[in-house]
């Protein structure tokens, strides 16, 4: 019945594990399919964007100057030229004129495919590349974990096979001696195998739960990294738009805003550095906390097992094996010293790394803080000096402000007219040459910008790959160390199991010997009690016989005396009494004989 119940439980656990495995397989296939579909969609979108970018690049030089264009377009161009002359005046620069002329010639450049969108595409491509590298790293980690799990399963299967062989051999050896003991040993081995299988299935289930939880944590970290990357990309895009708007303003306002933007960029980067540092510290603390929890749980389990084993072995050693107890205690102390040393070494390495990293972050933060203070100090001094000079000028020439303003306005009007007429003539004479120069300079500037962006992107990718490789090397080293520790722990466990097996065998032999001695003493005691009982019964029977004979002799003598008295004096009076006494004596003697016969039959039976 116990065997049938164990087989039924095993079948139920196998069916349950098969269902769990099918569910995990379906989830994994769905996840891989969604990732593949997302990757194909991103590749198609990227190819479409590159094709449109190539079309835009080819359209940059499609413009040809036509002197016979409509007068309406010429009128619009002249109005824009007059607006630019009024805006720029004598402060016009080649870059400003080029940008203004591009607005006239290429009004269709206001469509969404601008430099900002191209920059965003580049950043998105970089993010996708980083995400792909990180997912490959996760896949490698999963493969390593699967291989390690396979090795553990093979080790467990070998352990189960060894246990089965040992159980069969012991059962055969015992069966040669005693049939009943062989049957009990077979049943015990079957229960042991069932327990081992149930434990293996339960451990596999717990392990899968842990893997699922770890995968959920990795997905949360991935979402957090994506969010941080999106925030960084948005910050860069907004900063670039702000800088483009600042460049279109006046010179004084541009200088003032440039300093302000520099301070803001420094602060933003400083905040980003601090935020990334906090995130890294939080992740490290969380990882260390989980590792400490696992380590403490493992140490607690090992400590409980060691305590139970030490107590049991101590009890047995105090009885028979005191020398072996000394060896086991010494080995246990040596293992604890090794574990303590290994833990101290890992803690020292980790604390040193955290201290050095914190010192580097603090040094960099202090440098950035000093630089920001220096920039703010220079900017405030500049603004104060400008205010003082303006106040001095107003104090000295304030009463002449109206006249000076009128003369300056007339002079600016005269200069603007001259500049306008000169620019109109120059535009009619050398407009095409300037246009070609502007186009060529713009092309060269864009090529230089693309080369710089590409170089910066390559440098960033190289840094990221180096960092990922170092992390991979560190994790590999840590996994190797942990695997070595696990192998040592497994070896110690096997040693403990083997020593426990030997000890249990010796204890079993000792208990069997004690049981035989106890049975022999019990048999001797039973024989002693039985012989005493038989002797006492025999003595009691003999004593009863002697007593009955004595009583019968006394009664016979007394009867004879009574008969003589009856014969002599009162025969008629005492005759009935004598007869009654004789009957009673015969009945009592018959009762004694019957009891002695029953006791003899009981003793013989």
Look at residue 52 in the predicted model and tell me its pLDDT: 63
Residue range 547-562: mean pLDDT, rounded = 62
Q: Are 245 and 237 in contact (CB under 8 A)?
A: no
Q: Which residue has tokens 């003595």?
A: 539
CB atoms within 10 A of CB 595: 12
The more confident residue out of 92 and 431 is 431
Q: Following DSSP, what letter does each residue of 355-373 receive, concatenated? A: HHHHHHHHHHHHHHHHHHH
Q: Following DSSP, what letter does each residue of 248-281 receive, concatenated? A: TS-HHHHHHHHHHHHHHHHHHHHHHHHHHHHHHH
Look at residue 383 in the predicted model and tell me its pLDDT: 78
Lowest mean pLDDT segment, chosen from 98-107, 188-197, 305-314, 339-348: 98-107
Locate 412 and state its tokens.
Answer: 């600016």
Helix (H) or strand (E) holding 178: none
Half-sphere exposure of 378 (CA within 13 A, CB side): 11
**Cα 32 to Cα 27: distance, rounded to the nearest angstrom:** 9
Q: Is a pLDDT exceeding 60 seen at residue 573?
A: no
Maximum distance among all alpha carbons in the chain? 199
Confidence of residue 589 (pLDDT cuts 50, 70, 90): low
Q: Are 364 and 273 in contact (CB under 8 A)?
A: yes
Confidence of residue 554 (pLDDT cuts 50, 70, 90): low
Look at residue 91 in the predicted model and tell me its pLDDT: 47
Locate 112 and state its tokens.
Answer: 């969404």
Residue range 193-209: mean pLDDT, rounded = 75
Q: Comparing C-alpha atoms, which of 235, 234, 243, 237 is closest to residue 262?
A: 243
What are the pLDDT digits (tens) for 7-18?
A: 776 676 666 656
CB atoms within 10 A of CB 513: 10
Residue 589 phi, psi (nearest 5) = -65, -40
What are the pLDDT digits (tens) for 215-228?
A: 888 888 877 877 77
Q: Is 314 helix (H, G, I), strand (E, B) or coil?
A: helix
Q: Are 499 and 328 in contact (CB under 8 A)?
A: yes
Q: Residue 378 CA to chain centroid, in angstroms?
A: 50
Look at residue 560 in the predicted model and tell me its pLDDT: 64
Q: Which residue has tokens 């997302």?
A: 38
What are the pLDDT digits (tens) for 330-360?
A: 677 777 777 777 667 767 777 777 777 778 8
The string over 57-70, giving b where at least 16 C-beta atoms fall within 10 Å of a residue's C-beta and e elsewhere, is eeeeeeeeeeeeee
Look at residue 210 in the predicted model and tell me its pLDDT: 81
Lowest mean pLDDT segment, chosen from 79-83, 265-269, 414-418: 79-83
The more confident residue out of 252 and 63 is 252
What are the pLDDT digits (tens) for 252-278?
A: 776 666 666 666 777 777 777 777 777
**Cα 550 to Cα 566: distance, rounded to the nearest angstrom:** 24
Look at residue 507 in the predicted model and tell me its pLDDT: 80
Percent of the chain with pLDDT over 70: 54
Q: Residue 33 CA to chain centroid, in angstroms?
A: 25
Identify how many contiguous H helices and E strands the chain contains and give both numbers.
9, 0
Lowest mean pLDDT segment, chosen from 100-104, 471-475, 505-509, 517-521: 100-104
Q: Comparing C-alpha atoms, which of 280, 270, 272 is closest to residue 354?
A: 280
**Cα 478 to Cα 253: distance, rounded to the nearest angstrom:** 56
The listed range with the strongest mean pLDDT (164-173, 262-271, 405-414, 498-507) is 498-507
Residue range 565-592: mean pLDDT, rounded = 56
**Cα 68 to Cα 337: distance, rounded to the nearest angstrom:** 97
**Cα 422 to Cα 332: distance, rounded to the nearest angstrom:** 100
Q: Residue 237 CA to chain centroid, in angstroms?
A: 35
Q: Is a pLDDT exceeding 80 seen at residue 419?
A: no
Q: Comparing C-alpha atoms, which of 342, 171, 357, 336 is closest to residue 278?
A: 357
Q: Comparing C-alpha atoms, which of 439, 531, 335 is closest to residue 97?
A: 439
Look at residue 317 in the predicted model and tell me its pLDDT: 62
Q: Comparing C-alpha atoms, which of 276, 294, 296 is closest to residue 206?
A: 294
Average pLDDT, the chain: 69
Residues 6 or more apart whose CB falls under 8 angstroms from that of 216 comprise none
Q: Which residue has tokens 């005269």?
A: 414
The listed range with the strongest mean pLDDT (134-143, 390-399, 506-515, 532-541) is 506-515
Q: Residue 533 CA to chain centroid, in angstroms?
A: 76
Q: Which residue has tokens 């010192």?
A: 359
DSSP category for residue 513 = H
Locate 393 and state its tokens.
Answer: 């000028």
Look at residue 594 in the predicted model and tell me its pLDDT: 63
Locate 187 and state its tokens.
Answer: 């049943």
Locate 325 and state its tokens.
Answer: 């107890």
Dihedral, 503, 506, 512, 516 alpha carbons, nearest 10: -140
Q: Are 552 and 585 in contact (CB under 8 A)?
A: yes
Q: Are 168 and 189 in contact (CB under 8 A)?
A: yes
Q: Are 160 and 200 in contact (CB under 8 A)?
A: yes
DSSP category for residue 114 = S
Lowest mean pLDDT segment, chosen from 441-455, 468-482, 561-575: 561-575
**Cα 24 to Cα 26: distance, rounded to the nearest angstrom:** 6
Q: At what angle do helices 179-247 and 115-177 cross, to 10 degrees?
A: 170
Using only C-alpha atoms, the chain has a radius of gyration, in whole angstroms, of: 54
**Cα 517 to Cα 535: distance, rounded to the nearest angstrom:** 26
Q: Comparing C-alpha atoms, which of 271, 456, 278 is closest to residue 372?
A: 271
Q: Is a pLDDT exceeding 70 seen at residue 104?
A: no
What are the pLDDT digits (tens) for 168-186?
A: 667 767 766 677 677 677 7
Model confidence pTM above 0.95: no
């Amino acid at each position: 019945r116990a065997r049938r119940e164990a087989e039924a439980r095993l079948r139920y656990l196998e069916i349950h594990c098969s269902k769990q495995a099918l569910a995990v397989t379906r989830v994994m296939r769905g996840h891989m399919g969604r990732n593949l579909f997302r990757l194909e969609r991103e590749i198609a979108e990227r190819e479409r964007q590159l094709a449109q970018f190539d079309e835009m690049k080819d359209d940059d030089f499609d413009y040809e100057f036509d002197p016979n264009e409509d007068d309406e377009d010429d009128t619009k161009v002249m109005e824009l030229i007059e607006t630019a002359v009024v805006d720029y005046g004598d402060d016009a620069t080649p870059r400003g004129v080029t940008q203004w002329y591009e607005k006239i010639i290429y009004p269709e450049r206001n469509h969404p495919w601008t430099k900002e969108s191209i920059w965003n595409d580049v950043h998105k491509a970089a993010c996708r590349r980083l995400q792909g590298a990180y997912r490959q790293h996760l896949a490698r980690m999963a493969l390593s974990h699967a291989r390690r799990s396979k090795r553990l399963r093979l080790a467990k299967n070998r352990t189960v096979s060894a246990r089965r062989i040992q159980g069969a051999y012991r059962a055969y050896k015992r069966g040669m001696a005693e049939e009943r003991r062989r049957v009990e040993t077979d049943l015990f081995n079957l229960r042991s195998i069932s327990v081992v299988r149930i434990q293996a299935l339960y451990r596999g289930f717990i392990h899968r739960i842990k893997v699922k939880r770890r995968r959920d944590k990795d997905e949360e970290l991935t979402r957090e990294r994506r969010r941080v990357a999106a925030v960084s990309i948005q910050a860069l895009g907004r900063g670039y738009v702000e800088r483009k708007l600042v460049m279109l303003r006046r010179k004084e306002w541009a200088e003032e805003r440039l300093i302000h933007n520099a301070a803001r960029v420094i602060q933003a980067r400083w905040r980003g550095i601090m935020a990334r540092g906090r995130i890294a510290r939080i992740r490290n603390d969380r990882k260390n906390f989980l590792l400490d929890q696992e380590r403490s749980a493992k140490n607690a389990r090992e400590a409980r097992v060691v305590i139970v084993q030490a107590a049991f072995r101590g009890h047995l050693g105090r009885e028979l094996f005191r020398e072996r107890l000394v060896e086991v205690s010494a080995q246990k102390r040596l293992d604890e010293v090794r574990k303590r040393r290994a833990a101290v070494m890992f803690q020292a390495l980790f604390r040193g790394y955290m201290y050095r990293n914190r010192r580097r972050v603090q040094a960099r933060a202090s440098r950035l803080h000093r630089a920001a203070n220096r920039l703010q100090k220079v900017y405030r001094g500049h603004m104060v000096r400008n205010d003082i000079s303006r106040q001095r000028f107003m104090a000295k020439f304030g009463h002449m402000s109206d006249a000076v303003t009128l003369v300056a306005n007339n002079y600016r009007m005269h200069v603007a007219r001259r500049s306008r007429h000169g620019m109109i003539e120059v535009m009619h004479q050398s407009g095409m040459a300037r246009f070609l120069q502007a186009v060529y300079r713009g092309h060269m500037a864009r090529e230089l910008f693309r080369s710089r962006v590409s170089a910066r992107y390559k440098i960033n990718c190289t840094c990221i790959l180096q960092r990922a490789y170092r992390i991979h090397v560190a994790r590999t080293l840590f996994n190797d160390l942990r695997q070595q520790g696990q192998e040592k722990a497994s070896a110690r466990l096997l040693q403990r199991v083997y020593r426990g097996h030997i000890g249990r065998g010796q204890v079993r032999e000792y208990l069997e010997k004690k049981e035989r001695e106890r049975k022999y003493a019990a048999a001797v005691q039973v024989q002693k009690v039985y012989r005493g009982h038989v002797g006492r019964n025999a003595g009691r029977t003999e004593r009863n016989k002697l007593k009955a004979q004595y009583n019968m002799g006394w009664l016979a003598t007394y009867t004879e005396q009574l008969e003589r008295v009856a014969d002599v004096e009162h025969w008629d009076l005492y005759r009935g009494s004598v007869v009654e006494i004789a009957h009673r004596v015969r009945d009592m003697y018959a009762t004694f004989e019957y009891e002695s016969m029953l006791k003899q039959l009981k003793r013989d039976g």
